[in-house]
Amino acid sequence: MLLLAAPMPFAASFAQDFDAAQPTVLITGSNRGLGFAFAEHYAKRGWNVIATTRSPESSKELAALADEYERVRVEQLDVTDYAGITALADAYAGTAIDVLINNAGIYGDRDRQAWGSLDPEMFHTINAINVLGPLKIAEAFAAHVAASRHKKIVSITSGAGSVSPDRVAGGGVFYGISKAALNMAMRKAGAELAEHGIIVATIAPGLVLTDMLKTNRPSLAPRARSATEAVDAMAAVIDSLDQTYDGQPRNFDGSVLPW
């Protein structure tokens, strides 16, 4: 049985500007793309937002968002810095986190994960960020989520992680493996946290016009939607999650993602 720390009053100094009557969301990788769109989405809804990024000093858009919305806090966090994850969780002890969004992720260098040139170092880097990072975040903040009203942990997956015969394509070998592994990692987390009423879900955004897509799959860009459109759709799916959720990865439209 996983033992969670007893919830403390909503009075952590790091959350002093938060409204205890409003839900709280924590988002990793918030400086651009889907992460920034999530931060903006929840800020506009009046939520308390903990927006994390590896380099707050260079995240000008995020800083501007925090200036506009008083309940947005920008925090430094590298999802491969496990001591840093623990430190941030400790800093927010007593803060109930209703929705935890594991968004931070990388595609990785295309050439170093191409068949015939598979680079072990790149494999470990991608999986450290895309798989172990979300798992450690979920572990560190489990007590915060358990103490909330919504009790949801959501990780951003991808159709590239599907192992269905009609969906597996060439290229991006390590990225696809990492997303398949993320799906399993979150199923394991869900099994560990179910007794605490926590819903652990994975959602795929579909084709989104992010820097990742433009750099690694530029041919798909004309078919992609904006990050704002993708996040609005995924947020609706997150809102709909309840105890009937079966653990299967979902698409942005709520349909089951073949896995």
Indicate which residues carry an active-site annotation.
175
Q: At 169, is the secondary structure helix, strand, or coil?
A: coil
Q: How many CB atoms lie within 10 A of CB 226?
A: 12
**Helix, strand and coil in the chain, % to nearest 5:** 45, 15, 40
Instruction: Name the pairing type of β-strands 199-204 and 152-156.
Output: parallel
d(CA 135, CA 128): 10
Angle between helices 33-44 and 60-68 (to 10 degrees): 0
Instruction: Give the Cα-Cα-Cα angle 243, 247, 252 (nearest 5 degrees).
Output: 95
Q: At 115, is the secondary structure helix, strand, or coil?
A: coil
Q: Does residue 102 contact residue 26 with C-beta atoms inside 8 Å?
A: no
d(CA 227, CA 193): 30
